[in-house]
């Protein structure tokens, strides 16, 4: 332990005084100031001499988290104290009992919820998922724990640059998979946006910097456009005596990148880079909602609105409490611009989410259950349900973080909110588990439909039930809500053990017919072929008769479509620890790029396999995932969605890998081409690929309609450089609008 220097002490004092400055608006008594100071000195002493990886004193981290809690989330004194102490129990000898003795039961409970899981976990469970489960269970008692944890994650993301690449992958995966959607659901829009941007910055720094540079280059032009756009609006609002302020909102880098990927557009064709917010002070003569529509009317008197871009979250607020009126109008120079209209109250809820939502609810002494309360109640019910698998729990929880929702109605007119894509079966379980378990059909708008029918906004639904109906495994494919999945799984688990036993017998009998023994290599072929994520799911479906094994021989004989013609190798680019198989759980450590040595003097060479979900090729940024209990490292693109999920749940199995030596090889890659159709267009495309670049086309699909064509080309290439050269050449063909390599749409 190295003592802090005088410069360190001055920096700590400066940062703590800055926090105290922020606390002026929340401290109502001398006791409030005393408890914050007591927490600070306890945390400082507990973390004495400890430094973060960046080299700064560790105590600066809890101070920074506390400041985020006050300034950016809007919480109070108990939350600041809990944030200051949030790492004390985990990292020092201090106990929860001592925290309770000094600061009371409530703060001790919050600190306990923020303390990471310790001890040994089952081999088949995820330490991260177990940790998330514990934190999320505090929702049953206090939502502030989640809000502090989000603040903790935000500061860790802001200081992620000092971490090694494998830790960056783990942390950014957790962030984009769970923390950003959770921040959104809790109404923390600014924090959600920053978490997404920072995830992109560390996962795809080149693309992040490219978009940032283009935003900077167009900043002056955007500002001039905003001035021209808002000038007549300001004149109109002033003439009507409305008290307001106008803010400019720039589209986030992550949102721009995601739109470019999903719609296959270049930066220059993203038209909604900027929006303006009109935040008004409600007048005494007109209610808030009516004033929103009044301002909307004044704006649409000036600019023509886009009919399909009106978003009315004033009449029906989002589940997280967000209220606003959004419209997109045609502004000067033929450019579309988004306008967001909201009151000061709506704006505070939009910026600070749950904390502001709760403050305003208490201010009007409302005991009515609003949509946020209903969501929180649903989460608490889901968390109280039994679950054996922490990863399954985490997946189910994530389903509650949907951002796009629909409203459907019961026969008596009661409204039910469900995620977009929900089916009549989801609706049935939303009403009651017994109705869901016995559902056989649904009358949607008085017309009889299947229980698997997706429902639309405004549908009125009556569920048809039967006493003889029972949930089956197939139902899991037709529901999207956590509640429905939980109840179906709960029923199925009662009979699953028999199905698994029967499935093992059937599968092993089929393998014996093929002269094959069960092995990890067999399951790496079989599980994806039958769309199963693990062996238990596969066995259960086989035993239940859902999966037929008639084509098992063909699957076992099949080869990967990505064939390497000449040898390439991958090497680990950092030290990586993992557990070997067997009862003793030996530790293995990568000693160098090519050698894997075991703790008992044995030498083991890790196997590398290319992930079929994203098909990386030499030149792509790649990341390794060590399969639990195996010595095979699966290589994914750094942007792969599957990798993001794996890293968020099994971050301890993630390692950095890089392409080492590779020579001439052939590897499958896919391009998407779009443009103006003409007679010899296909010939021009094929000539460039096959003649100029001597590349073999494996498959080509082309569709032409209304003078526009879209083409998907699968071809064997050597590396990403070859792909980029082909893309560049194709883009020069007259009439071609876009050429993009098919890639995963999310970080």
How far apart CA 281 and CA 201 sit, in angstroms, is: 37
Task: Single out the residue of 361, 383, 320 nearest to residue 137, CA to CA.
Answer: 383
Closest Cα partner for 144 from 96, 110, 178?
Answer: 110
Determine the Cα–Cα distance for residues 585 and 596; give it in Å rounded to an integer. Answer: 16
How many whole angstroms separate alpha carbon 639 and alpha carbon 650?
16
Q: Which residues contact 157 (CB under 8 A, 6 or more apart)?
A: 171, 172, 175, 194, 195, 198, 199
Distance CA(262)–CA(592), nearest Å, equals 39
- Over 536-597, what HEC string results? HHHHHHHHCCCCCCCCHHHHHHCCCCCCCCCCEEEEECCCCEEECCCCCCCEEEECCCCCEE
Q: How many of the other CB atoms lie within 10 Å of CB of 332? A: 14
- Residue 250 among the catalytic residues: no
The verdict on whether 710 is a catalytic residue reads no
Are 738 and 674 in contact, with CB atoms under 8 Å apart?
yes
Beta bridge partner(s), residue 207: none
Phi, then psi, of 708 in degrees rounded to 5: -115, 140
Q: Which of 18, 71, 91, 392 is catalytic?
A: 91
First to last CA, the chain: 38
CB-CB contact of 252 with 196 (8 Å): yes
- Distance between CA atoms of 558 and 210, rounded to whole angstroms? 41
Report yes or no: 328 and 336 within 8 Å, Cβ to Cβ: yes
> Are the C-beta atoms of residues 622 and 536 closer than 8 Å to each other?
no
E strand or H helix that includes residue 113: helix 105-114
Pairwise CA distance, residues 576 & 626, whole Å: 10
Catalytic pick from 34, 90, 97, 247? 90
The 10 Å CB-count burial string (b at 16+, else e) for 471-489 is: bebebeebbbbbbbbbbbb
Among residues 187, 156, 151, 191, which one has the least CA distance to residue 170? 156
SS3 label, residue 612: coil
Angle at alpha carbon of residue 55, lines to 50 and 58, rounded to 5°: 35
- β pairing state of 632-637 and 667-676: unpaired
Q: What is the 3-state secondary structure (H, E, C) of 384-439?
A: HCCCCCHHHHHHHHHHHHCCCEEEEECCCCCEEEEECCCEHHHHHHHHCHHHHHCE
Active site residues: 90-91
């Amino acid at each position: 332990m190295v003592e802090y220097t005088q410069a360190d002490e001055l920096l700590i004092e400066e940062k703590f005084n800055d926090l105290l400055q922020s606390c002026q608006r929340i401290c109502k008594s001398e006791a409030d100031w005393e408890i914050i100071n007591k927490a600070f000195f306890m945390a400082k002493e507990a973390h004495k001499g400890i430094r973060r990886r960046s080299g700064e004193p560790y105590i600066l981290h809890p101070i920074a988290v506390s400041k985020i809690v006050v300034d950016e989330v809007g919480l109070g004194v108990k939350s600041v104290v809990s944030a200051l102490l949030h790492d004390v129990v985990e990292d020092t000898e201090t106990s929860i009992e001592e925290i309770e003795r000094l600061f009371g039961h409530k703060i001790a409970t919050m600190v306990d919820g923020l303390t990471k899981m310790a001890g040994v976990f089952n081999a088949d469970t995820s330490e991260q998922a177990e940790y998330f489960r514990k934190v999320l269970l505090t929702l049953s008692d206090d939502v502030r724990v989640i809000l502090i944890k989000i603040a903790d994650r935000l500061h860790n993301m802001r200081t992620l640059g000092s971490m090694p690449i494998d830790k960056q992958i783990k942390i950014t995966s957790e962030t984009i998979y769970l923390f950003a959607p959770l921040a959104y659901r809790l109404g923390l829009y600014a924090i959600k946006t920053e978490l997404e941007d920072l995830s992109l910055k560390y996962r795809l720094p080149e693309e992040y910097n490219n978009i940032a540079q283009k935003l900077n280059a167009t900043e002056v032009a955007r500002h001039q456009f905003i001035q021209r756009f808002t000038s007549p609006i300001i004149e109109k609002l002033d003439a009507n005596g409305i008290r307001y302020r106008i803010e400019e909102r720039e589209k986030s880098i992550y949102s721009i990148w995601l739109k470019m990927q999903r719609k296959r557009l270049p930066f220059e064709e993203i038209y909604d880079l900027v929006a303006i917010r009109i935040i008004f002070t409600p007048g005494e003569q007109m209610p808030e909602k009516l004033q929103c529509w009044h301002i909307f009317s004044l704006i649409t008197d000036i600019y023509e609105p886009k009919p399909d871009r009106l978003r009315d979250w004033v009449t029906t607020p989002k589940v997280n409490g967000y209220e606003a009126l959004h419209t997109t109008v045609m502004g000067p120079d033929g450019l579309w611009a988004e306008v967001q209209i909201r009151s000061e109250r709506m704006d505070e809820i939009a910026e600070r989410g749950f904390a502001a939502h709760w403050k305003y609810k208490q201010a009007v002494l409302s005991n009515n259950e609003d949509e946020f309360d209903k969501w929180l109640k649903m989460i608490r019910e889901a968390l109280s349900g039994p679950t054996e698998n922490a990863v399954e729990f985490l997946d189910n929880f994530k389903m509650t973080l949907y951002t796009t929702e629909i409203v459907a109605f019961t026969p008596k007119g009661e409204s039910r909110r469900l995620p977009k894509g929900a089916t009549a079966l989801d609706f049935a379980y939303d009403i009651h588990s017994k109705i869901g378990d016995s559902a056989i059909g649904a009358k949607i708008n008085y017309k009889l439909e299947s229980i698997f029918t997706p429902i639309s906004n405004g549908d009125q639904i009556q569920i048809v039930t039967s006493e003889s109906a029972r949930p089956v495994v197939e139902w899991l494919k037709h529901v999207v809500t956590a509640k429905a999945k939980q109840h179906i799984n709960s029923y199925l688990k009662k009979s699953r053990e028999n199905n698994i036993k029967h499935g093992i017998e059937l599968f092993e009998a089929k393998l014996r017919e093929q002269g094959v023994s069960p092995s990890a290599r067999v399951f790496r072929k079989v599980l994806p072929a039958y769309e199963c994520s693990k062996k238990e799911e596969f066995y259960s479906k086989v035993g239940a008769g859902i999966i037929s094994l008639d084509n098992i021989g063909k699957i076992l004989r099949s080869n990967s479509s990505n064939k390497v013609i000449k040898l390439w190798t991958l090497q680990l680019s950092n030290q990586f620890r993992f557990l070997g198989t067997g009862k003793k759980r030996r530790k293995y450590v990568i000693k160098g790029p090519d050698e894997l040595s075991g703790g008992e003097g044995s030498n083991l060479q890790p196997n590398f396999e290319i992930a079929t979900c994203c098909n990386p090729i030499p030149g792509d940024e790649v990341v390794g995932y060590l399969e639990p209990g195996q010595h095979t490292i699966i290589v994914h693109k750094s942007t792969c969605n599957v990798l993001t999920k794996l890293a968020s749940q099994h971050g301890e199995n993630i390692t950095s890998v890089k392409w080492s030596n590779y020579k001439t090889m052939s590897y499958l890659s896919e391009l998407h081409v779009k443009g103006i159709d003409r007679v010899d267009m296909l010939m021009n495309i094929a000539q460039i690929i096959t003649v100029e670049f001597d590349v073999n086309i494996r498959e080509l699909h082309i569709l032409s309609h209304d003078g526009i064509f879209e083409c998907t080309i699968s071809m064997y290439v050597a590396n990403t450089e070859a792909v980029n050269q082909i893309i560049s050449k194709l883009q020069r063909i007259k009439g071609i609008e876009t050429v993009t390599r098919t890639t995963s749409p999310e970080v």
